Amino acid sequence: MPFVCALTMVISMCAYAAAQQQPAAPPAEVAGIPVNYDEAKVGAYTLPDPLILLNGKRVRDARAWAKQRRPEIVRLFEENQFGRSPQRPSSFGFDVFDKGSPAFGGKALRKQVTLRLAGSIKADLLIYTPRGAKPAPLLLNLSFTANCNVADDPEVKCGEVWGPGKKKIPAVQGRRFGRIDVARLLDAGFGFATMYYGDVDPDFEGGLPLGVRAAFLRPGQTAPAADEWGAIAAWAWGLSRAMDYLETDKDVDARRVALHGVSRLGKTVMWAGARDTRFALVVASCSGEGGAALSRRNYGETVAHLTAPSRFTYQFCANYGKYGERVERLPVDANLLVALIAPRPLLLQTGDKDFWSDPKGEFLAAVAAGPVYRLLGRQGLETDQMPAPGTGVYHTLGYFEHEGGHGALPSDWDEYLRFLKMHLAR
């Protein structure tokens, strides 16, 4: 299970490995904190209402949502969960070092770009666009591994990944995981792009000096302030910089770019899509606590587990830790995070044995975000009955729970493609 692996630097691989395995019995305690898996002990809770402003007034139309409530909720998530991110620095730029070569037997055009993020921090973006109708819609994937490990294409630059001892090693020496069947997307008329999250900011405690956040520390500042970005916000910021490039690529329809990420990267794509409305659609796989699962529901992982000192404090802003023991005071919850994607399509993919990530908590968050989708003239899930595992609900909000554990299964890609075609195909 991922949380067993979490203290090592190969954590990220576990998300993928776990999806393939039979889930083990969930642990009763993590980081010394009990874990509840009993629906009878979830407890009563009241969610923040997405359509009531902090001043108590009700949001009655799309304009009040866009001008008042949405910015207010973004700010609340910044201050209390993910942390504020900086503007794009004027030094930002990119180098297209592979300007367009045939790939996948001529099915696609491949481009490779180095994004100069800030300071000395650079990230490689790999892009395929299908031959034929251009500009193409595209799925932008945030990956646990470098681009050469994701696509089955020998011409992709071999980047580096974080290895033991907080040192980067050539990606080919890292574990092989996170492969994606790019040809399948191309055949369906979609482009595909991917970048490695570790290029942006490392995924371990003490990684701050080695990532992009260090480039924004003010003189004398040794850590982000309590309301400034954690690693998830930094990864999400990196996706926005990838979008800055994609907007300049004539082969890509920048108005039809979807995001995809798994697990902590599911949380990341939720936040990236919430902040940056240029992303047209989000597919979040097993994003769980801190992502699409309700925090006020005491089931599986909780804010207290996420922010325990031995676990993932660095992924969030320091303020988030204040709510571990009093989640009822957290000014936000996952229903508001889902609502920030509205009116754009969002597919939540979970697993019926992924108890740690609370798949039901994700479903309930989506149900509770429905009024915002409807206010904006779209459909939410339009049911409060969870679909049986292996079946889904598909409207502007979508929910699909596979039979199995944590992560994205190959068969989940059928559902992703169905959702992408439903909303982004012409």
Please confirm whether the linkage preceding 137 is cis (ω < 30° from 0): no
Find the shortest distance in angstroms from Cβ 394 to ligand GCU: 24
Cβ pair 250, 213 in contact under 8 A: no
Calculated CA dihedral for residues 240, 424, 332, 216, nearest 10 degrees: 0
Please report whether residue 124 would count as binding ligand GCU according to CB under 6 A: no
Find the shortest distance in angstroms from Cβ 264 to ligand GCU: 3
* Identified binder of ligand GCU from the candidate list 130, 137, 207, 288, rule CB under 6 A: 288
Please report whether residue 2 would count as binding ligand GCU according to CB under 6 A: yes
Find the shortest distance in angstroms from Cβ 388 to ligand GCU: 24
Find the shortest distance in angstroms from Cβ 191 to ligand GCU: 26
Residue list 298-337, contact with ligand GCU (CB under 6 A): 301, 306
Burial of 386-408, coded b for 16+ CB within 10 Å and e otherwise, reads beebeebbbbbbbbbbbebbbbb
Q: What does the chain come to in residues?
A: 426
404 closest CA partner among 357, 365, 366: 357
- Tell me whether residue 263 is one of the annotated catalytic residues: yes
* Identified binder of ligand GCU from the candidate list 213, 264, 275, 402, rule CB under 6 A: 264
Q: Which helix (H) or strand (E) holds 167?
A: strand 167-170
Please report whether residue 83 would count as binding ligand GCU according to CB under 6 A: no
Q: Which residue lies nearer to ligand GCU by CB, 160 or 289?
A: 289
Q: Report how far residue 156's alpha carbon sits from residue 150's, in angstroms, rounded to the nearest whole number.
A: 10
Q: Which segment (2-10, 58-66, 164-172, 180-188) binds ligand GCU by CB under 6 A? A: 2-10
Q: Report how far residue 423's alpha carbon sits from residue 292's, in angstroms, rounded to the nearest whole number.
A: 21
Q: Report how far residue 22's alpha carbon sits from residue 1's, in angstroms, rounded to the nearest whole number.
A: 10
Please report whether residue 16 would count as binding ligand GCU according to CB under 6 A: no
| 286 conformational bin, left if phi > 0, alpha if psi -120 to 50, beta if neither | left
Q: Report how far residue 193's alpha carbon sits from residue 175's, in angstroms, rounded to the nearest whole number.
A: 21
Q: Which residue lies nearer to ligand GCU by CB, 143 or 263?
A: 263
- Tell me whether residue 411 is one of the annotated catalytic residues: no
First to last CA, the chain: 40
Q: Report how far residue 412's alpha carbon sits from residue 426's, in angstroms, rounded to the nearest whole number.
A: 22
Backbone angles phi, psi at 312, to 5 degrees: -120, 35
Q: Which residue lies nearer to ligand GCU by CB, 15 or 272?
A: 15
Please report whether residue 354 would count as binding ligand GCU according to CB under 6 A: no
Residue list 17-56, contact with ligand GCU (CB under 6 A): none
268 closest CA partner among 48, 15, 9, 7: 15
Q: Which residue lies nearer to ligand GCU by CB, 356 or 394?
A: 356
Please report whether residue 246 would count as binding ligand GCU according to CB under 6 A: no
* Identified binder of ligand GCU from the candidate list 9, 10, 13, 15, rule CB under 6 A: 15
**Which residue out of 12, 263, 285, 287 is catalytically annotated?**
263
Q: Report how far residue 292's alpha carbon sits from residue 288's, in angstroms, rounded to the nearest whole number.
A: 6
Please report whether residue 260 would count as binding ligand GCU according to CB under 6 A: no
Find the shortest distance in angstroms from Cβ 406 to ligand GCU: 7
**Which residue out of 260, 305, 406, 423 is catalytically annotated?**
406
* Identified binder of ligand GCU from the candidate list 80, 194, 263, 298, rule CB under 6 A: 263
Find the shortest distance in angstroms from Cβ 261 to ligand GCU: 10
Please report whether residue 289 would count as binding ligand GCU according to CB under 6 A: yes
Residue numbers at the binding site for ligand GCU (CB under 6 A): 2-3, 6, 14-15, 263-264, 288-289, 301, 306, 356
Q: Which residues are catalytic?
A: 263, 406
